[in-house]
Amino acid sequence: MDAALGPPEKMAENEDELTPMMSQYFELCREYDDSLVLFQVGDFYETFCEAAERTARLLEIALTQREDSTGTYPMAGIPIDSAESYIETLLDAGYRVAVADQVQDPEETTSVVDRAVTRIVTPGTLTEDELLDTEDNNFVACLTEDPDRYGLALLDVSTGDFYATSAEREETIADEVSRFAPAEAIVEPAAEDGAAFFDADCMVTPYDSAAFDSETARERVEAYFGSPDTLLVGDTEARNASSSTTAHDAEIRACGALLAYAEYTRGGKRASGHAGEDGHLDYLNHLTRYEPREYVLLDRVALSSLELFERRTVHGDADVTLLGVLDETACALGSRKLKDWLRRPLLEPDRIEARLDAVEAWTHDVQTREEARDLLRDVYDIERLVARISRGRANARDLRSLKTTLDVVPDLKAAMADFDAELLVELRDDLDELADVRELIGRAIREDPPREITEGDVIQRGYDEELDDLRETEREGKAWIDDLEQQERERTGIGSLKVGHNSVHGYYIEVTNPNLDAVPDDYERRQTLKNSERFYTPELKEREDEILRAESRADDLEHELFRDVRSTVAAESERVQAVADALARLDVLAALAEVAATRDYARPEIGGEGIHIEGGRHPVVERTQQSFVPNDAHLERAASPPSGERDTANAADSFAVITGPNMSGKSTYMRQVALITVLAQTGSFVPAASARIAPVDRIFTRVGASDDIAGGRSTFMVEMTELAAILESATDDSLVLLDEVGRGTSTTDGLAIARAVTEHVHDEVGALTLFATHHHELTETAEELPGAFNLHFAAEGTGEDVTFDHEVRRGAATASYGVQVAREAGVPDEVVGRARELLAEAESADVEPADERSADDSKDEPTADSPPKAVADGPEDELAARLREVDVATMTPLEAMNELAELTREVE
Query: What does the DSSP assignment read for 307-319?
Result: TSSS-SSSSS-TT
Higher-confidence residue of 882 and 700: namely 700
pLDDT at 18: 81
| Topology (CATH) of 129-294 | Nucleotidyltransferase; domain 5 (3.30.420)
| Topology (CATH) of 15-121 | MutS, DNA mismatch repair protein, domain I (3.40.1170)
CA distance linking residue 589 with residue 423, whole number of Å? 10
Mean pLDDT, residues 859-876: 42
| 80 contacts 45 by C-beta, under 8 angstroms | yes
Phi, psi at 490, each rounded to 5°: -70, -40
CATH architecture for the domain at 329-433+574-599: Orthogonal Bundle (1.10)
523, pLDDT greater than 80: yes
Of the options 3.40.630.30, 1.10.1420.10, 3.40.1380.10, 3.40.50.300, the CATH number for the domain spanning 465-566: 1.10.1420.10
pLDDT at 391: 87
CA proximity to 823, closest of 832, 815, 813, 810: 832
CA distance linking residue 394 with residue 894, whole number of Å? 56
CA distance linking residue 166 with residue 176, whole number of Å? 10
pLDDT at 602: 98
291-341 pLDDT, tens per residue? 888 899 998 889 989 999 988 654 445 468 999 999 999 999 999 999 999
- State the pLDDT confidence band at 864, using cuts at 50, 70 and 90: very low
862, pLDDT greater than 90: no
Higher-confidence residue of 190 and 539: namely 539
pLDDT at 872: 40
pLDDT at 896: 62
Strands (E), 174-311: 184-187, 203-206, 288-289
Task: For the chain, give the mean pLDDT.
Answer: 85
206-224 pLDDT, tens per residue? 999 999 999 999 999 999 9
- Residues 6 or more apart in contact with residue 529 via CB below 8 angstroms: 510
Q: List 610's β-bridge partners, or say none.
A: 636
Indicate left, alpha or beta for 742 from its phi (over 0: left) and psi (-120 to 50: alpha).
Answer: left
CA distance linking residue 821 with residue 242, whole number of Å? 52
CA proximity to 522, closest of 492, 501, 545: 492
774-796 pLDDT, tens per residue? 877 888 888 999 999 999 887 77
pLDDT at 708: 45
pLDDT at 868: 42
659-692 pLDDT, tens per residue? 887 777 889 999 999 999 999 999 999 999 999 9
Higher-confidence residue of 480 and 856: namely 480
Mean pLDDT, residues 125-139: 86
3-state secondary structure of 45: strand
Q: Around 684, how many Cα atoms within 13 Å sit in the side-chain half-sphere? A: 33
Q: Around 253, how many Cα atoms within 13 Å sit in the side-chain half-sphere? A: 22
Share of the chain above pLDDT 70, in %: 81
DSSP of 713-739, one letter per residue?
B-HHHHHHHHHHHHHHH--TT-EEEEE
From residue 201, alpha-carbon distances to 197, 312, 315, 604 in Å are 12, 17, 22, 38
The C-alpha angle 195, 196, 202, rounded to 5 degrees, equals 55
CA proximity to 432, closest of 382, 378, 366: 382
- State the pLDDT confidence band at 188, using cuts at 50, 70 and 90: very high
pLDDT at 394: 92
From residue 295, alpha-carbon distances to 333, 670, 802 in Å are 21, 21, 43
Instruction: Residues 605-717+729-740+759-816: name the CATH superfamily.
Output: P-loop containing nucleotide triphosphate hydrolases (3.40.50.300)
CA distance linking residue 236 with residue 334, whole number of Å? 15
442-477 pLDDT, tens per residue? 999 999 999 888 778 899 999 999 999 999 999 999
Mean pLDDT, residues 127-151: 89
User: What is the domain partition of the chain in residue ranges?
Assistant: 15-121, 129-294, 329-433+574-599, 465-566, 605-717+729-740+759-816
CA proximity to 619, closest of 336, 340, 342: 342
Q: Of the ranges 499-508, 636-645, 655-664, which is most confident? A: 499-508
- Residues 6 or more apart in contact with residue 873 via CB below 8 angstroms: none
Q: Of the ranges 98-112, 126-140, 588-602, 885-899, which is most confident? A: 588-602
Within 10 angstroms of residue 890's Cβ, the number of other Cβ atoms is 7
Higher-confidence residue of 245 and 344: namely 344
pLDDT at 194: 81
Burial environment of residue 61 by CB neighbours within 10 A (0 to 12, 13 to 18, 19 or more): middle
655, pLDDT greater than 50: yes
239-250 pLDDT, tens per residue? 444 434 567 899
Phi, psi at 43, each rounded to 5°: -95, 10
What's the DSSP call for residue 118? E
Mean pLDDT, residues 615-632: 91
CATH topology match: 329-433+574-599 vs 465-566: yes
CA distance linking residue 672 with residue 798, whole number of Å? 29
- State the pLDDT confidence band at 15, using cuts at 50, 70 and 90: low
Phi, psi at 34, each rounded to 5°: -95, 5
875, pLDDT greater than 90: no
- State the pLDDT confidence band at 736, using cuts at 50, 70 and 90: very high
234, pLDDT greater than 70: no
Helix (H) or strand (E) holding 790: strand 788-798
Q: What is the pTM of this model?
A: 0.83
